[in-house]
Amino acid sequence: MKRAPKDTEESARRITRRGLIMGGLMGGFSALLVGRMRHLQVDQADTFRLLAEENRIKFSLIPPERGLIFDREGRPLAVNEQIYRVVLVPEDAGDIENTIARLRQIVPLPDEDVEKTLADIRRSSPFHEYTIADRLSWEQLSEVAVNTPALPGISPKVGLSRSYPLAEDFAHVIGYVGRVSDYDLSKLEEPDPLLKLPQFQIGKSGVENKWEEPLRGRAGNRRIEVNAAGRVMRELDRQQGESGADLQLTVDSALQNFVQARLGTESAACVVMDVETGDLVAIGSAPSFDPNLFVRGISVADYKSLTENDHRPLANKAAQGLYPPGSTFKMVTALAALEAGVITPGETFYCRGHKEVAGRRFHCWKRSGHGWVDLDGSLQQSCDVYYYEIALKAGIENISAMAKKLGIGVRHDVPMSAVAQGLAPTKAWKKERYDQDWVIGDSLNASIGQGFVLASPLQLAVMAARIASGNAIEPRLVKSVDGRETEVKGAVPLDISPTALQQVRKGMFNVVNSGRGTARRARILSEGMAMAGKTGTSQVRSVVVRNQDVPWEERDHALFVAFAPYDKPKYALSVVVEHGGGGSTVAAPIARDVMLQALYGGFPPLSAYPKGDRWRVEQMRKELPIREEIRKQASDRA
């Protein structure tokens, strides 16, 4: 049936209207798309270009070369040695454990090292490089290189590692580096990004730790292109970092080697200090350990052998060890009394072998007594009763103040680990610490370096240097940084009467050089090199028993402090031998040998020793474990 023209026209109008509506909607939508595309491609072009670039380009840190450490003569003490290592990139390895198993057929890998690496991988990015084998031989590295097609993700590398060529000699001074731990990071508010690199190492103790930031340097960076999965495609740019600062220390490695050898197997410490500059030329602590073990990752067995040793090789006895100074403290008491004006140098007191106070007897080391003694005689013979008498006159406050003036009870600013403050006690200190009043007996004990008084070998060396020079000299360990000399501090006169200091120096001279001196067997015979000193024996138990009758750990400590030459002091030193017994028999001979080595710059002639000691010294020299190059230099000088 044919449609009427009117119906046809109506149908055409409807279609046209719908077409226009649809066309309008499509046009509007197209306009919206075009506008949005213009916004994204034109207005937001820079933003999306940056995002695309960041997706494609990554920055990677390049660890800087760590600064070197030298002794005062320029001999290397801490260096960066070239080593061969094998690294693993987990993202490239696929089955990591299978890859490591294949590698272990070529290179022996301890289970402990493998576990550490796997733990690092689980904590960090799979795109980092992880050292899986370190310090390989050239032959081992070559074998790995040949087999790399069968070892996905494995690459042989040449790198740098910290090394300490003099090992045990400077373990307590320089310290060592080790891997950054979570504990290390927790101590820093904004840690350097370098510290988050897998297996990056930082200073853990000693100078390495205290000068960490200057030694570390600044990281470089490289710009690398990566694909969508994060795989490195190529390196686009590299900017080298800034190497760490080089340090020159004040220590003399030849003298340090002699000190460590001379202390031997004793649990002991020795500090040698330049009287004029405060330079620490030797800082020995025995027994020692090899810091290279910690750099490479010390084994459980090696670490256990160090921690279970009763001579405590890991402890830096020179700076952190605290001991009752014994009779080496008597110069402090004498100067306090002289400065307070309560005694004169010629004033005498009678020693009958003890002094009775409040119904208690305080004994002298010589039970029969010394008779009438003045200041000079009291130092020569180390009479305890004399110091009991003058302590009652001077008072503990004056004694404590003098101790601090001479460097005891003060934490000295030297870059070593756990530098001890020591203790010069006062009435207020005891009240605060124990909630007890100070009693007369406390003053008597303190006057002879017992009771609450504590000092480190470093502090005792500072005390000897200040007495010798009359200056408030401060100890210095870092001589220069990148060739720039560091400041010498404290070269100003002490607030102590020069006359009082001279009286004490004279007494110390007679301790070593007079017929009745307690250290006369340790005297130096070389002309112009006479030594002045003071012996000390500090008790570690309240009951007086002969040292040979008790176990080693219950024996007295042996101490000696000294300076030389007497007429023009150059060096001051201290020696402490834990549980060594008598200061005159054990510590003084060590001090004399070290002092002569320092003054002569090598082995002194045998004529420098008393005749009775020359054969012993000659035999000792042959047996001392001194490095061969040092022995040759010392022999040439002698």
Kindly state the DSSP code that residue 548 receives in the 8-state scheme.
G
Name the one residue in this structure whose structure tokens are 């790198």: 159
Active site residue 327: yes
Alpha-carbon distance of 285 to 271, in angstroms, equals 9
**Three-state SS at 293:** helix
Q: Which residues pair with 159 in a beta bridge?
A: 83
**Three-state SS at 473:** coil
Comparing C-alpha atoms, which of 402, 410, 411, 495 is closest to residue 446? 402
Q: What is the dihedral of CA 361, 362, 366, 368, to 10 degrees?
A: -30
CB distance 271 to 457 below 8 Å: yes
Catalytic residue chosen out of the listed positions 285, 327, 378, 574? 327
Name the one residue in this structure whose structure tokens are 């020179």: 318
Sign for the CA dihedral angle at 327, 332, 337, 338 comes to: positive
Name the one residue in this structure whose structure tokens are 């100078």: 207
Alpha helix (H) ranges present in 124-179?
Answer: 138-146, 171-174
Helix (H), strand (E), coil (C) string for 454-479: EECHHHHHHHHHHHHHCECCCCECEE
Comparing C-alpha atoms, which of 131, 219, 208 is closest to residue 162? 208
CB distance 557 to 537 below 8 Å: yes
Comparing C-alpha atoms, which of 152, 150, 250, 157 is closest to residue 207? 250
Sign for the CA dihedral angle at 175, 179, 183, 184 comes to: positive
As given in the structure block, the two tokens for residue 396 are 């503990």
Catalytic residues: 327
